[in-house]
Amino acid sequence: MILGIESSCDESALCLYDPARGVVGEWVHSQIERHADYGGVVPDLAVGEHLTHFFPLLDLARDKADLSREVTSVAVTCGPGLVGCLGVGLSIAKTLGLLWEVPVKGVNHLRGHAFSPFMNVPFPAQKEWRRFLPHLGLLVSGGNTLLFSIDEERRIETLASTVDDAAGEALDKGAKLLGIAYPGGAELERRARGGNGEAFAFPRAFPGRKDRKFSFSGLKTSLLYAIEKMSDEEIEERYADLCASYQSAAMDQLVSKTGQLLEEGDYKSIGLSGGVANNLVLRAAMKKLSDKHGILFLAADPVHTGDNAAMIAFASAIDERGFQVKREEKLTFRPSLSLEEPGINYSSAFPD
């Protein structure tokens, strides 16, 4: 059984994962309320929250299993993320690895997201992957917006990324302009229901096929200019339309670029992961896109779209290419790790 540990930002998360059975148990402490008054994550506060809550989470995990006897490896996020937060998780993982004399793997958080749509698919044999690969994945969160491919050998290649704000960040910033408290993306979606998504002509950046990139900063600026030209009464009257139009512009850009790249490759499936994957408008549009091309659509479960330890444990089990094994290299955190970079297999720290 694998113990997964995730602490890259403002979620303290643990998971017990059995490759044969799936998730045995998972426990999360969210810090959203702690950071809400600041309009974003405060790194020092996040570190303190991790130090306070990880050990009670471990106690809950101990109620589920005899950890020192049943855990055969520890998987921990080693990047990307906030320096102090990554350090807390890594310290706990390495300590437990030494106490239990089990290997520790440092997992790339982004690769965890990339493989999370596959978590509910049984893979008893290598042949099962043939149904889904090559795969085109869209990872959308508050910190990342990436289109990537996974080939038949499970090699990952980044195909497109944002040049400025991530999609989730843009939704939160737009929500703030509309008077919605942080984090505002989900509430923006709720308030957009019933609104006209075409009422305001907000921009869709990089519409051309040759532009393998996203941009959302201009979208936020366009909303700001639109609001500044309206009276308070007009904003109130057309509030749902503003929310719907802003959301539509963001989602259209994501889906349009995915469709362009889908037509350039021979893919068997589309994946959707990251916190913004919970957006029902985006999910429906991606499903429609996959149906149009006659390929499979895989979306991460809502519980596994945010920062979670289950995807970290899962990636450590199935992403063989996601790790370097170097006896001389120490397991440490790397805050700016990119999707294509591997984590570190720390098993060599324990002599035969």
pLDDT tens sequence for the chain (352 residues) = 999 999 999 899 999 999 988 999 999 998 888 887 788 889 898 899 899 999 999 999 999 999 999 999 999 999 999 999 999 999 999 999 999 999 999 999 999 999 999 998 875 455 578 899 999 999 999 889 999 999 999 999 999 999 999 999 999 999 999 999 988 999 999 999 999 999 999 999 998 888 999 999 999 999 999 999 999 999 999 999 999 999 999 999 999 999 999 999 999 999 999 999 999 999 999 999 999 999 999 999 999 999 999 999 999 999 877 776 555 457 788 888 999 988 876 654 444 3
CATH 3.30.420.40 region(s) of the chain?
A: 2-114+305-349, 132-299
Q: Are strands 145-150 and 135-140 parallel, antiparallel or unpaired?
A: antiparallel
Q: Which class would CATH give 132-299? A: alpha beta
What pLDDT is attached to residue 314?
A: 95
What pLDDT is attached to residue 325?
A: 56
For the beta sheet containing 343-345, the strands, ordered from the edge strand earlier in sequence to the opposite edge, are: 22-30, 11-18, 2-6, 73-79, 104-108, 343-345, 323-324
218: three-class secondary structure by DSSP: helix
Q: How far apart are CA 197 and CA 176, in angstroms?
A: 19
Q: How far is CA 335 from the centre of its chain?
A: 15
**How far lies 232's CA from each of 178, 224, 227, 237, 245, in Å?**
11, 14, 9, 9, 18
23: three-class secondary structure by DSSP: strand
Q: How far apart are CA 152 and CA 165, in angstroms?
A: 31
What pLDDT is attached to residue 284?
A: 97
Homologous superfamily, domain 2-114+305-349: ATPase, nucleotide binding domain (3.30.420.40)
What pLDDT is attached to residue 40?
A: 83
What pLDDT is attached to residue 350?
A: 45
